[in-house]
Amino acid sequence: MSERGTVSVLVIDDSAHNRHTLTTLLESAPDVRVLDRAADGEEGLKKVLELKPDVVTLDLEMPKLGGYTFLRLLMRTAPTPVIVISSYAHRSDVFKALELGAFDFIAKPARGTSEELESLRVELLDKVRAALHVRPGQRHVSPGARALAVAGELPLVVAIGASTGGPPAVQRVLEGLAAEPTPCVLVSQHMPAQFTRAFADRLDRIGPFTVTEASEGDVVQPGHVYIAPGGRHLVVVDRGTRLELHTPPPTPVDKYAPSVDRLFTSVAQVLGPRALAVVLTGMGADGALGAREVQRAGGEVWAESEETAVVYGMPGEAVATGAVKRVLRLGEIGPALASLARRRR
């Protein structure tokens, strides 16, 4: 954190209007200060090295030096938490940026109404503050997956909850689980509605799992990964001869949609002692209540360790409940799940 307890930010965007808007939103909080603004990646990189901000906000499409190249050079020379500001039209680009080391992303408002700008302000300030908890250079690197055939019954259902830093972490877990690609994986990742299908499509390409955005009435199948649709929950119900997925809308009391607590609780109710929940990186406490439900049902709860979590909020809160049975580094979770799946076959 910068002097006088403020978070220092560098805003990089080729639009003068966007630079002004982001600066105004950021400086609406007394603990956030915009050090400077840059119109392209080349200017931005120079200012990062000169000013050493705590956090950078980044537009991906810029002249001279684009966002991807900027991220590669930044992470190599002066690792700094980066929050990507992306439009819905370029949602697939976000996941490449996260793989290159970006801390998180925020979707630009579609119309820029006062309500949308206020929502953007709250999310932006939350994520800028959370970025301070990232250790320098902390990022999830994906080693690549092996494509293997899916066969057999459904020996294991894994429920995964994640938020900030989650997309690359979920991919890393699936890559580690690829050695035993028969389980079904249910993922509740905090993400705007327009991005979850692109996230599923990207994961589907890494193999061997079939990855889709969950739809109402989907039947749980081995070798499949179901991503909770943004803005809706993902829950499991028992239909006697099959497990079925429902995607109900949020209620006024729901803080998150999708909710990790809702997913974990449904898995606990349906699977009982065979329930397995994994809490990955993320801000807040979503998943902690659900973790207790899984434990009460006789199931297991695992959490990502503080050593590898981009943000230790969610896994830390789950551990604090006493419900977590295993705390593992990110790279250990996938192989451990594969080993458990083989034992349960």
Active-site residue, 86 included: no
Instruction: Report how far residue 334's alpha carbon sits from residue 328's, in angstroms, rounded to the nearest whole number.
Output: 10
Instruction: Report how far residue 315's alpha carbon sits from residue 328's, in angstroms, rounded to the nearest whole number.
Output: 10
Which candidate in 190, 224, 233, 261 is catalytic?
A: 190
The token duo for 95 is: 């996941």
Instruction: Please check whether residue 255 is in contact with residue 217, taking contact to mean a CB–CB distance below 8 angstroms.
Output: no
Instruction: Report how far residue 339's alpha carbon sits from residue 328's, in angstroms, rounded to the nearest whole number.
Output: 14
Query: How confident is residue 60, by pLDDT bands cut at 50, 70 and 90?
Result: confident
Residue 145 falls inside a structural domain: no
Query: How confident is residue 130, by pLDDT bands cut at 50, 70 and 90?
Result: confident
Which candidate in 13, 54, 104, 286 is catalytic?
A: 286
Residue 152 falls inside a structural domain: no
Interhelix angle 166-177/193-204, nearest 10 degrees:
30
Total Cβ atoms within 10 A of residue 311: 26
Total Cβ atoms within 10 A of residue 297: 18
pLDDT at residue 61, as a whole number = 84
Per-residue pLDDT tens digits for 281-320: 999 999 999 999 999 999 999 999 999 999 999 999 999 9
More confident: 343 or 187: 187
Q: Domain residues for 185? A: 157-344
> Could you say which of 98, 132, 166 is where a domain stops?
132
The token duo for 91 is: 């949602």
Please, what's the b/e burial string for 28-50 (b: 16 or more CB within 10 A of its CB; e: otherwise)? ebeebbbbbbbbbbbbbbebbee
Specify whether 180 is located in the same domain as 326: yes
- Phi and psi torsions of 237, nearest 5°: -130, 150
Active-site residue, 190 included: yes
Instruction: Report how far residue 235's alpha carbon sits from residue 249's, in angstroms, rounded to the nearest whole number.
Output: 11
Per-residue pLDDT tens digits for 229-284: 999 999 999 887 789 999 999 998 899 999 999 999 999 999 999 999 999 999 99
Helix, coil or strand: residue 222: coil
Which candidate in 8, 86, 163, 259 is catalytic?
A: 163
- Report the CATH number at residue 305: 3.40.50.180
Instruction: Please check whether residue 145 is in contact with residue 208, taking contact to mean a CB–CB distance below 8 angstroms.
Output: yes
Residue 195 falls inside a structural domain: yes
Considering its fold, how many domains does the chain have in total? 2
Active-site residue, 54 included: no
